[in-house]
Amino acid sequence: MRVFSNPVGAGSLWFDNLTTADGTPVAYDPQARAFLPMPPFCANREVIGCNWIAPSQGAFCQSCAMTALAPDPSLPNAMLNWAQTEAAKRWALDNLGRWHWFRPEDPGTRPVFHLLAEGATPVPMGHINGVITISVTEADPVLRVSRRQALDEPYRTMIGHMRHEIAHMLWWRLSLRHDFLDAFRAMFGDEQADYTSALQTHYTNGPPPDWKANFLTTYASAHPHEDWAETCAHLLHLTDIADSFVAAGLSSPELPDRNWDPYAETDAERLITVAASLTIGVNHINRSMGLSDLYPFVLSEPARRKLAFVHDWLRRGAQGR
Ligand SMILES: [Zn+2]
Ligand SMILES: [Zn+2]
C-alpha cells in the first residue's frame, strides 16, 4: 500500500486514517488515490469508520456500495467485526484497482458482498457467481487463532480471507473470456473435478505428503479452484508487501530501482523474486519483536510458475485485453 500525503498540512497519511494528526477530518478518494479534506464522506463513516469519499451526500462509497448484506447488529461484536472486515475489503479492493479491477475502466461485473456475523452456526465463506460471502466474526482474534490452530494454518487474517474469496470471483470473471479456461486447466488442472468430494478427501486424509513441492499451502492442494484462490491471494500478498516496502522508503539491493512500482512490473519472475527476497528480510525484523513471520511460506518452482500465470491474467483481465 502507498503512503499518502496530507492535503491540509505536513506529514503523511495512512490508508485507514479518518483524520490528520491534528484532527482534521479527511477521506480517501479511490479514483484519485489521494486524501481529500472535504465531504461528501461515505454514509458508513459514523457507522463503521469508513474513510472513503462518496459520490454524493448520504451515499455509500464505492466499497460500501458493494456490500449487499451487512451483519445482524444484535449479534455480539457484530459492528466492530464488520468495521474491521470492511477495512480489509477496502484495502484489498484498492490493491486490485492498481491492476484496474472494478474501476471505471473495467467493463466487467463488480463483486457483491454478503458480510455476515456468526450466531450459533458458522458462516461458510465462499463465492458463487459474483457473490462473495465472508464471516465478519473471523475478525475476532481469539476465534481466528483457534481456527488457525485447529486447521494447522501458518497464516489467517481478514485481509487473507478477502483476497482468497475475491480471487474466486476474479477466476469467475476470467472464465467468462474465451481464452482463459484452456490456459488455466493446463496450469492448475481441471476445475470440473468434483469439488465436494475433493474437499471431503482433503479434510479426511490431509494433503498429499509432497504438497510443498507443488503448492503454496495445504489447502491449495485440495482442488484446482482452491489452488487458484490461494495462489492469487499470495500474488496479492507479495505484490502488496513489495509495494508497501517501497512506499515506506525502505531500500534493499534487491529492488530494481528506488521508484520501482511493483504493480507496473511486467516481469512476473522479477516481481516474485524481489518480493520473496524482501519477505526474508522482514521475517527477520519481525523476530526482533518475537512476532511470527510476516510471510511464513516457501515458494517452490511450480508455485512460482502458477504465481506468474496469475500475474499475467490479473494484469490484463480487467481491461478485456
Ligand atoms: Zn464506505
Ligand atoms: Zn476458496
pLDDT in tens, 237-288: 999 999 999 999 999 999 999 889 999 999 999 999 999 999 999 999 999 9
Q: Where are the beta strands (DSSP E) in 14-155?
A: 27-29, 34-36, 67-69, 112-116, 126-128, 131-135
Calculate how far, in angstroms, residue 73's C-alpha sits from the geometric centre of ligand 2.
Answer: 26
- With 0.75 as the threshold, say if the pTM is over it: yes
User: In this structure, which ligand is nearest to the CA of 128?
Assistant: 2
Q: How far is the CA of 21 from the centre of ligand 1 (A)?
A: 21
Residue that the C-alpha cell 476465534 belongs to: 143
State the SS3 of 267-314.
CHHHHHHHHHHHHHHHHHHHHCCCCCCCCCCCCCHHHHHHHHHHHHHH
Distance 219 CA to ligand 2 centre (A): 9
d(CA 292, ligand 1 centre) in Å: 31
| pLDDT above 70 as % of the chain | 99
Summarised one tens digit per residue, pLDDT across range 170-214 is: 999 999 999 999 999 999 999 999 999 999 999 999 999 999 999
Strand partners, 127: 132
Ligand 1 is an ion; residues with CB less than 5 A from it = 42, 44, 50, 52, 61, 64
Is residue 75 within 8 A of residue 119, CB to CB? The reply is yes
Question: Taking 80 as the threshold, does the pLDDT of residue 107 lie above it?
Answer: yes
Say if strands 12-13 and 4-5 run parallel, antiparallel, or are unpaired.
antiparallel
